[in-house]
Amino acid sequence: MLETDNYEKFKKDVYALAKIDLNAYKEKQMRRRINTLITKNNIKTYDEYVVLLKKDKDKFDQFINFLTINVSEFYRNPEQWKILENEIFPKLIQKFGKNLKIWSAACSTGDEPYSLVMALSRHLPVANIKIIATDIDKQVIDTARMGLYNEKSIAAVPDDLKKKYFTKIGNSYQISDEIKKRVEFKEHDLLKDTYPSGCHLIVCRNVVIYFTEEAKDEIYKKFEKALVPGGFLFIGSTEQIMNYREIGFLRDKSFFFEREK
């Protein structure tokens, strides 16, 4: 039986050891999962487990892998991110200046908003960048705040940005605090909640496909209203907006739609 009375100290020890903040996760679920892993290793206390992590690289890697996100993908469809980086961002900066309001809607485990910060960092000082990132699922938001990913997830990140903004921990990669600080995560239901207003760019990719045609129509209309005239909506490669003209969009590139003036 595991003695689980000093979890607060354990969280601090893990942060000191791997710069991973376990406070970003729902405590009850995270404790239960970690306790199961510790028990599997025949360990009786958190302190003993920390000692093991410090001296046994395989056990340390096992622990990091256990915490790592495995389902996300940075720079998904890289050719579209090139268009965003080389064409859309310069247009937006030229039109609206450096303080762009960007919303990553249905952001899942954080790969998309973090990719946005990195891509925009080629055009603006990182301190100027702020992304609002929302998702209906509180747990994926907690996971996104952790910012720990596996190698496959970050495969499409350009090498210079990978080098600059990720630290290898075991077999996993931790995104830098510099990037994390630029993203504000919030819970949001696309079907029910009020949308942010005055956005210059909204990114919502490969999510709307799961809704009915009526719901899709409603969401795209709300996105159009949430954008400023001349702002852009960036959608996923699995999606299309058949009636974009009726909604008030101009098609810029295959997956980029500009709100009409």
Per-residue pLDDT at 186: 94
Q: Which of 189, 221, 247, 239 is nearest to 76 (CA)?
A: 239
Look up the domain containing 26 and give its range. Answer: 7-67
Residue 121 predicted with pLDDT over 50: yes
Cα–Cα distance measured from residue 59 to residue 106, given in angstroms and rounded to the nearest whole number: 34
Assess whether pLDDT exceeds 80 at residue 21. no
Residue 1 falls within a domain, yes or no? no
For residue 225, pLDDT over 70 is answered with: yes
Asked if 225 and 253 sit in the same domain, the reply is yes
Among 129, 126, 132, smallest CA distance to 92 is for 129
- Look at residues 67, 90, 108 and tell me which one is the last residue of a structural domain: 67
Residues 95 and 187 both lie in one domain: yes
How many domains would you assign to the chain? 2
Q: How many residues does the chain have?
A: 261
Q: How confident is the model at residue 53 (pLDDT cuts 50, 70, 90)?
A: very high
- Sign (positive or negative) of CA dihedral 143, 130, 134, 118: negative
Q: How far apart are CA 24 and CA 22, in angstroms?
A: 5
48 lies in the same domain as 89: no
CA–CA separation, 72 and 110 (whole Å): 8
**CA distance linking residue 45 with residue 48, whole number of Å:** 5
Residue 37 within any structural domain of the chain: yes
Amino acid 115 reads S
pLDDT of res. 26: 60
Looking at every residue in the chain, the average pLDDT score rounds to 90
Q: How many CB atoms within 10 Å of residue 192?
A: 7
**Does 89 share its domain with 40?**
no
Beta-carbon contacts of residue 139 (< 8 Å; ≥ 6 apart): 26, 29
Q: If you write DSSP's letter for every residue of 69-126 in order, what string do you get?
A: B-S--TTSSHHHHHHIIIIIHHHHHHHH-S---EEEET-TTTHHHHHHHHHHTTTS-G
Whether 248 is in a domain gets the answer yes
Domain shared by 47 and 86, yes or no? no
- Residue 251: pLDDT above 60? yes
Q: Of 67, 99, 118, which closes a domain?
A: 67
Phi, psi of 121 (to 5 degrees): -65, -15
Same domain, 148 and 228: yes
